Amino acid sequence: MSRIGKKPVPVPSGVTATLSGQTVEVKGPKGVLSFTATDDVTIAIGDGEITVTPRGTSKRARQQWGMSRSMVANLVQGVSTGFRKDLEINGVGYRAAIQGTVLKLSLGYSHEVNFEVPQGVTVTTPKQTEIVIEGIDSQLVGQVAANIREWRAPEPYKGKGIKYKDEFIFRKEGKKK
């Protein structure tokens, strides 16, 4: 039994959910999102909550059960509160600035890195060494954060690079003389 799948997804006030076939559409103050579930699960809406149940006891049905519930929960959270990733830049001379829809990163390369911010995501730089990524789509926010981090992942000796705010970088000891 899926521990995640068993829990119903509560729908907060100000958020409406509609079901047409296997597609769940959720509308809220931040926007509209939808998810189409596979035929292995049944989705039901009622009493201010959304429930997901498997059809049958096959392995695939049980796998889709928890995943579908998580996807629906992400839709509800996205349209009500949204998602946010905080990145931190460490290193001498490393900085970030946003100009229109382009994030300009100085990361120690011979050139400046220009990252085009996709639709549906807002990127801000409260400080030169902080990047805040916000949006309603969990997958898109996480992917944009991963793509930015990929330009200069933190290294284990000095910790220079772009890291998530809550990430711990395991530090190594350098060469001994």
pLDDT tens across 154-175, in order?
999 998 999 999 999 999 998 8
Of the residues 80, 114, 142, which one is the last residue of a structural domain? Answer: 80
Q: Are residues 95 and 75 both part of a single domain? A: no
Q: Are residues 58 and 89 both part of a single domain? A: no
Q: Are residues 98 and 152 both part of a single domain? A: yes
Mean pLDDT in the chain? 92
Domain assignment present for residue 169? The answer is no
Of the residues 65, 80, 95, which one is the last residue of a structural domain? Answer: 80
The answer to whether the CB of 117 falls within 8 A of the CB of 59 is no
Position 1 pLDDT exceeds 70: no
Of the residues 49, 80, 111, which one is the last residue of a structural domain? Answer: 80
92 CB burial (10 A radius; 0-12, 13-18, 19+): exposed
Q: Which domain covers residue 66, as residue numbers?
A: 3-80
The contacts of residue 34 (CB under 8 Å, 6+ apart) are 23, 24, 25, 26, 75
Domain assignment present for residue 174? The answer is no
Count of domains for the chain: 2
The answer to whether the CB of 111 falls within 8 A of the CB of 94 is no
Q: What is the mean pLDDT of residues 4-30?
A: 92
Position 2 pLDDT exceeds 80: no
